[in-house]
Structure 1
Amino acid sequence: MNDVITSPCAVLLLPGWQNSGPGHWQTRWEALHGDHRVEQHDWQRPLRGDWCARLEEEVLAAPGPVLLAAHSMGCLLVAAWAAHSRHTARVRGALLVAPGDLERDDLRQQIPGWAPIVRQRLPFPATLVGATDDPYCSAGRARGLAADWGARFVDLGARGHINADSGLGDWPEGRALLDELAAARPAPAADPLSS
């Protein structure tokens, strides 16, 4: 008998800049699996502190452990939030897909306030999925972020920004990666508020 998962995990979807549209895998997962999208107050002018505070609210509102499924700037949000939150023990794992390189000059000017990228090791298991031809983050940079965050790196090949334009549909392969994180044995230290 497998007793690894002691309670079900809520999946929090963390879109990037400008949110995720109708064909995006995050939107499809929301419809298919009942995952919960973390709605930000301003998708056009993202403020790192505001976005972190919003994620903190959602993690605390969840009835039990959570899984984070982040895309693009949502990956940077996970790192920034984890570096400051005292509730990271509530996170079973994080799927980080196509992080945006907001230290790049063109992107830093377009979306100010997110550089430097927080590179502290994540206190929960993580898998980072990157593409060889992502226009917003080179494969080398994605691998570097995975190493800094202590995340397993998965190379998806030439799939662009791993979004609606990538032709992933419901992206069952990504869901399988999330399920692997859900099945991972949680860290021994427990958040006192989670019981």
Structure 2
Amino acid sequence: MDTTEKWAAVDKERARVADLLDDLSEVEWTHPSLCENWRVLDVAAHLTAGPHMSVLAALKAFVKARGNFNRMVYATAKDLAATKTRAELVGLIRQSVGSRRLAPSQSLDNALMDVHVHAQDIAIPLGRHLPMPVEAAVASADHLWEIGFPFHARRKWSGRRLIATDAEWSAGEGAEISGPIEALVMLLAGRTATVPRLSGITP
């Protein structure tokens, strides 16, 4: 995917997430997501942060989190979830469609992966069907395999070969783990919910 195609995929997924959130009941908003200790509400709040966060706000949040990136992300999401209404969060996600602004220090590849993984973090535990577009999933899998922090997928799955059964994608060497590319993306992102959809790995 080139830059234009990646941005188009980000826009499309943000719009799909906003549509999904618009359809949720109050119970679903407070349902646990696939992210540990995060509700669906918190994930939605996190998705608004990147396109709207200034460098100064990010620096302040980082200092407040005492230099811990994961703590900063968690606290920022929780703060937004506590101060914004459901409608405001959905509105902020819709406003980000068409924006070419990234969070401070974030790459486009990371933004593409982030929105697609978090869309599944919301949809899967709610039993909502939101298929990950194959081309975007392949790009996300490439990114997750190449980066280290925070998932360290290449190190974690050292000695295994991951093979997509519905796309031209594979990585690693060793005993095979195979299945749909979206299930592999979630595995690379540290989620276990899609393991039952994969062969060569025990749930």
Instruction: Decide: shared fold, TM above 0.5.
Output: no
Tell me which protein shows more helix as a share of its residues: 2
Tell me which protein shows more strand as a share of its residues: 1
Given the two structures, how large is their TM-score scaled by the length of structure 1?
0.28
Which has the higher Rg, Structure 1 or Structure 2?
Answer: 2
